[in-house]
Structure 1
Amino acid sequence: MPHPPAHRARTAIIGTGAIAHAHAEALRVLADRAELVAVVDVDVDRARAFAAQFGAATVYENAGQLLAHERLDLVHVCTPPQTHAPLAIQTLHAGVPVLVEKPTALSLREMDEIIAASDATRVPALTVFQHRFGAAAQRLRGLVAQGALGRPLVATCETLWHRTADYFDLPWRGRWDIEGGGPTMGHGIHQFDLLLAVLGPWRRVSAFAARQVLPTDTEDVSTAVVEFTSGALATVVNSIVSPRETSRLRFDFEYASVEVEHLYGYTDADWRFTPAAGHEALAALWEGPAAAHPSGHRDQLAAILDALADGRVPAVDAHEARRTLEFAAATYASAFRGEIVHAGDIAGSHPFASSMHGGAVPWQPHKEIVR
């Protein structure tokens, strides 16, 4: 059971754009356990408005000022993706645990730099993968770990969202050099992170990607077929060109099918558990306390606070987040090279280790690609 810490955790948010509000709202819900003491943004007026809205006492113009003047237990990085790795590393070297919005880094090479800094300082670097922490997902992972559902056989993972051209008016969206990729990196990553968390290590992937209609440098849809080390097979679709929006996951095990359909966060009501014939008694194992709120930042933040209070490394740490980022890199490498990619292939001087595009985007000549 969660327990009150000896003191309220002192937290700060770097970047006060849209996603920062989800972090601040989570902190407000958990106000008995954590307080937002400071915010940072290059747009000082926006930072002041954000601080006033969420009760932060101090505003800073940059991370250096924040880390020099505040005693902190956790820093939330909510800036555009190209700044994630430098800010995470700076925070780690200041001795403060850091929670980074997805994607943690723009490449596996950057991710390895974060891991190296975390290992050297012995300070946790964490990634926001909040869908792992909803009550139903936790229950499912427990049943899988126990072997109660039998061997995993097949799964589907779909992020079918819709974005119009004006969504990309922000200068950092849809660009390899700033966002790192399209829906594979910025949208579907939450769903396939949960897929990987349930099914475990993947062995190989074969993928396609396309820029169908949107005015981006990156893809607006990708599809992949994945084989896991368990032998399970899965399909993964990441789209931002789908007018009827939904997020779906389905897992078929030997003894049951487990499904969820939601959009940006699920409750227990969004899940369906179907036991196979002769295994109806499993339905009782699925029953559990119903979560009243959708899966989101508050669940992961509560788990982080529990772990920090207990002296444990919280989830999802940089080593684990790297496996999800590696899957994204493998999706791009397979799609752009037209080949099957195995886990561990993308390493060293591999072109997709230093960037998600690997200099091989079919619709964009290499000379036009930044990075």
Structure 2
Amino acid sequence: MTRKLRVGVIGAGIAQRHLVGYNWNKELFEVPVLCSLDEDRGRQAVADYGVGEFTSNVETLFERDDLDIIDVCTPPDSHFELSRRAIEAGKHVICEKPLFGSIADVDRMAGIVAGTDRKFMPIFQYRYGTGLQKLKRLIELGLTGKPFLTTIETHWWRGPAYYEVPWRGKWQSELGGGLLGHAIHAHDMLNYVHGACAEVFAYGATLVNPIEVEDTMTLSVRMQNGSLAALSMTLGSRKEISRLRFCFADMVAESILEPYTMGRDPWTFIAGEPEHQARIDAALADYEVKEDGYTRQFELFHHAIVEGGEPPVTLQDARNSLELVTAAYHSQRTGQPTPLPITPDHPLYTSWLP
């Protein structure tokens, strides 16, 4: 019989997407408790998703001995402290993006987790879209050839009403703008496909709304594998799209344009030669479609806890993602290319907040 893991959820906003993922994995998880400072929304989520009980006292979650996992779905500035307390209380941890406010915090958390037998999983659920997983398969089978260029567009719309939520649009509480909070998923896909970045040059601006943080940005990136990438992000696109194009020597992979599920099928995989197209088509013909998004990421985390092994998304994955953010902010402010990795002697290692 499959062992069910018990999850305590903190938060009632993005947490509701997590609750959908747990409900699709009912044989693997149960959620006895949800904690939120927004009592009305929290109690409604408990009722809507069949959670055991509601509390507004987060201390009770750390004290309970019947929880295997604490899932942190709060505003970004609270992530580190809640995660630290959960690990020290003997729980496994799931934490929403953006993970923390500095590379130093990621490294501190890695040290904390290393001293325990607990597992820590940042959220990057977009990785598990069928289209992106098919590309990963073609790479593993050696059918793509050498990587040349990746272009990623995160062109969304956020009007004034979005920033009526008090913690949004502010450095101290949101920790960054569209680069950190919106484009981070698509940019994680860059690292997921190609590995770590080697150098970044960035322009950033606040053009769309009167907020503290950036809402429009372009990045030129050199990858450690030698390929190049051009990334653009704006929250001022009246037509919302997300688009990823990966140009390899032997084929081009292109995502759909749907802004929030761009990892899903139908992606296109176009080869340069008919014979090679046939090989690609044959490799994808028997691809086994699995659940995607949070559902799949949680399923893989359950396997890592019960069977052993690394979580499907690791702290190093989150570090790669936040290194790109750190380097982009540094480049924007200095007007110079910024090399990676970000090491403890880097001026923004302990914080990119201005």
In structure 2, the residue corresponding to 1:219 is in which secondary structure? coil
Shift of 1:266: 4.0
Q: What TM-score, normalized to structure 1?
A: 0.90
- Are 2:318 and 1:318 equivalent residues in the alignment? no
Quick one: distance in 2 between partners of 1:48 and 1:268? 32
Q: Which runs of 5+ in 2 are unaligned?
A: none
- Are 2:313 and 1:338 equivalent residues in the alignment? no
1:184-333 matches, within 5 Å, as: 184-261=179-256, 262-266=258-262, 268-277=264-273, 278-281=275-278, 282-289=280-287, 291=289, 295-333=292-330
Quick one: distance in 2 between partners of 1:292 and 1:115? 30
1:19-168 matches, within 5 Å, as: 19-168=14-163
Q: Which runs of 5+ in 1 are unaligned?
A: 360-371
In structure 1, the residue corresponding to 2:168 is in which secondary structure? coil
Shift of 1:76: 1.2
Partner in structure 2 of residue 365 of structure 1? none
CA distance 1:89–1:267, change in 2 (3 Å): closer
In structure 2, the residue corresponding to 1:325 is in which secondary structure? helix
Aligned residues: 351
8 Å CA contact 2:119, 2:305 repeated in 1: no
In structure 1, the residue corresponding to 2:265 is in which secondary structure? helix
In structure 2, what residue type is equivalent to 1:313?
A: E
Shift of 1:306: 2.0
Quick one: distance in 1 between partners of 2:259 and 2:164? 23
Q: Which moved more, 1:130-139 or 1:178-187?
A: 130-139
Quick one: distance in 1 between partners of 2:313 and 2:58? 23
In structure 1, what residue type is equivalent to 2:285?
A: E
Q: Which moved more, 1:303-312 or 1:330-339?
A: 303-312
Q: Which moved more, 1:218-227 or 1:283-292?
A: 283-292
Quick one: distance in 2 between partners of 1:291 and 1:263? 21
In structure 2, the residue corresponding to 1:167 is in which secondary structure? helix
8 Å CA contact 1:267, 1:291 repeated in 2: no
Shift of 1:298: 1.1
CA RMSD of aligned residues (A): 1.8
Quick one: distance in 1 between partners of 2:116 and 2:263? 37
Quick one: distance in 2 between partners of 1:356 and 1:246? 28
8 Å CA contact 1:114, 1:125 repeated in 2: no
Quick one: distance in 2 between partners of 1:66 and 1:126? 18
In structure 2, the residue corresponding to 1:270 is in which secondary structure? coil
CA distance 1:251–1:121, change in 2 (3 Å): same
8 Å CA contact 2:191, 2:197 repeated in 1: yes
Quick one: distance in 2 between partners of 1:269 and 1:64? 42
